[in-house]
Amino acid sequence: MHNADLKQKLAGFDDILCCLTSRTSSTASSDPARTCQFTQFHRKFTPCCDSPDAQNGVGYFGKVDDKGTQQYSLCLNPANYSYWDFWHPTQAGWKAVMQVLEDPIKDFLGI
């Protein structure tokens, strides 16, 4: 029901696909100016905060072993990274996404 209502509400709007989860940063849009701007990132797919166990869901920022040794690494400048950890965009990553989506969202909401 939700998808049908959403499809009806969004009928007539251009589609924009900004794929963050596939690690491809691909974008599909009928307007080339409305694309995800991931070109400024030095490390597009490397997370700022990384852990060997991150993909298994057990690594995290602040994790230490029994001896108190950090089990993660942290970048010096998150603005150079599109992802904070294995799943979540950095502030700079969200900014790149919102450069594409902000105007369409405002148009949709009428603001």
Q: Would the pLDDT of 90 be above 70?
A: yes
- Interatomic CA distance for residues 103 and 111, integer angstroms: 9
Distance CA 41, CA 77 (A): 11
Domain count, the chain: 1
Alpha-carbon distance of 46 to 76, in angstroms, equals 13
Separation CA 72–CA 86 (nearest Å): 12
Average pLDDT over residues 49-77: 81
Alpha-carbon torsion 51, 57, 61, 65, what sign? negative
Prediction pTM value: 0.58
pLDDT band at 71 (very low <50, low <70, confident <90, very high): confident
Task: Tell me the one-letter amino acid at 54.
Answer: A
The beta-strand segments (E) located in 1-111 are 16-18, 27-29, 49-50, 73-74
Q: Domain of residue 64: give its range.
A: 2-109
Which 8-state DSSP code applies to residue 52?
T
Tell me the pLDDT band of 111, cut-offs 50, 70 and 90. confident
The most confident of the ranges 1-10, 30-39, 87-96 is 87-96
Q: Which of helix, strand or coil describes residue 92?
A: helix
Residue-wise pLDDT tens digits, 8-53: 777 777 666 555 544 444 444 445 554 555 666 776 778 888 887 6
